Each structure stands twice: as structure tokens, then as C-alpha cells.
Amino acid sequence: MRTASIRLTDLWPRRSSAAALPPGQRELRVFPRFSDNPLRPLPSSPEPATLSVGGAVRRELTVTVDQLPDLVPRTTITADFHCVTTWSVCDLRWSGVPFEAFWHEVIMPRCEPEPDVDGVVVRGLDGVQAIIRLDDALQPDVLLADRLDDAALSPVHGAPLRFVSPQQYGYKNIKHVCGIELYRTTPASTYGAKEHPRARVAFEERHSIIRGAALRWPYRLAVPLTASLAERSARRS
């Protein structure tokens, strides 16, 4: 596993000769747990794990995570993961249900969203959330994933369910997903200006105000310590 026996020296993003990375990104050969609050413990997951849909809908819905493959056919994608702090891990294999299919086949008929819904807030059991525009959420490579690299998703990487959006920076890829709230008016971000409305990797949308290229080195310098603290916190949980 890419998370086993991680050393501090493994956590420095390096230039890659094999992978063509997006602007400002460098490669890690390990996949660490990472967080804006690295000391945050892993959340406990209820049994059974559930996913709730609410907000700007006529009817709310709650399903168990185990039910998802019965509602929408599973798929597997191979995609790179890009953290806003400039590190990338290449060729991860995520398996789960496509969010686009879940939207059209489950949310639309069962929840009946308001006609002017503009996006979703994806919430995790750890209290972290991301604001996702609907056109970004409905990209064909976005998954509600429960498997990573042909194994059940671990708590370190977001079990029981992770919102995987490869075209957006990692802070939009919420771990431990438990809720999806539809919105008509964009809510205030819990990250403040640090959360770009779209966070598209190809356009280096790292921050809503500061130019992405200006943040490369300030962010990169914090990677080893932040990732190391997050890994230690996860092991203690």
C-alpha cells in the first residue's frame, strides 16, 4: 500500500520525469492522509454507514452506503489526485458509483430538487465540507467511492465513502461523506477565501483571491510536517 511505512523524506513533493503534471504540481510516491487540521482525529462511522440528501429538495432521502451499488451501477476510474498544496499522487484506482448517475437516477426522481439548484455541499463525518458547483459535480469522472486501489477504502483515506473529483483540488474531495445538501444560493465557505468556488486543477485555482502560482512555495514548504502530523493523528485514532 502507498500509505505503509511513510517516512518524512517521502513527503517532499518532487519533480516527475514520468508523469505530466498540472501547473505547479510535483509528485509524491506515497499517498498520505492530509488535512487543513492535521491533528483532527479520525471520525467514528455509524453502523450501518448512511448517506443523506437534503437541502433544496421536495423530499429528503437517506440510504445506506451498502445500498449505493444496488441503486447505481459501479464503475472504476484511474485518476491522479492533486492536493492544493502542490503534491500529486498518480494513477490511483477509485471504485464506486458515478455521482452523475446517482444524481439523475436517484436524486432527481426521489428527491425532486428545486428547479434553480446551483450546486451541492458535500459534508463529512469529521465536520469538513466542500461547496461544489453542479456543473463540476456532474463531470463524468466524479465518484462516490468506497474502494481505492482494489481494496476497501480505509478510514485514513475517507471510509466509508469519499467524494472523488479528479479535476478539482483535494479539498473538494471530501472524506467520510455522510451528507449532500443541495443549494440554490451559494453558501458561505467554512474555509473563507481559501476555498476557490471551483478549484480546478488545470487552471491552478488554489485560492479565491491569491493567484495560484504565488502559493506554490508557501504551500509546498508545509507539506512534510502537515502530512506527518495527520498520519500520526490517524494512527492514534
Domain of 228: which CATH number?
Answer: 3.90.420.10
- Cell numbers for 150, please give them: 482494489
Predicted confidence band of residue 234 (pLDDT cuts 50, 70, 90): confident
Domain count within the chain: 1
User: Using one digit for the tens of pLDDT, what is the confidence trace for 41-75?
Assistant: 999 999 999 999 999 999 999 999 999 999 999 99
- For the residues of 44-75, what is the DSSP string, one character each? P--SS-EEEEEESBSS-EEEEGGGHHHHS--E
Q: Which residue has the cell 456543473?
A: 135
Position 143 in a domain:
yes
User: Using one digit for the tens of pLDDT, what is the confidence trace for 152-191?
Assistant: 999 999 999 999 999 999 999 999 999 999 999 999 999 9
Go through the chain and tell me how many residues it has: 237
Q: Report the alpha-carbon distance of residue 18 to residue 89 in Å, rounded.
A: 12
What residues contact residue 218 under an 8 Å CB cut-off, 6+ apart?
Answer: none
The residue range of the domain holding 167 is: 8-236
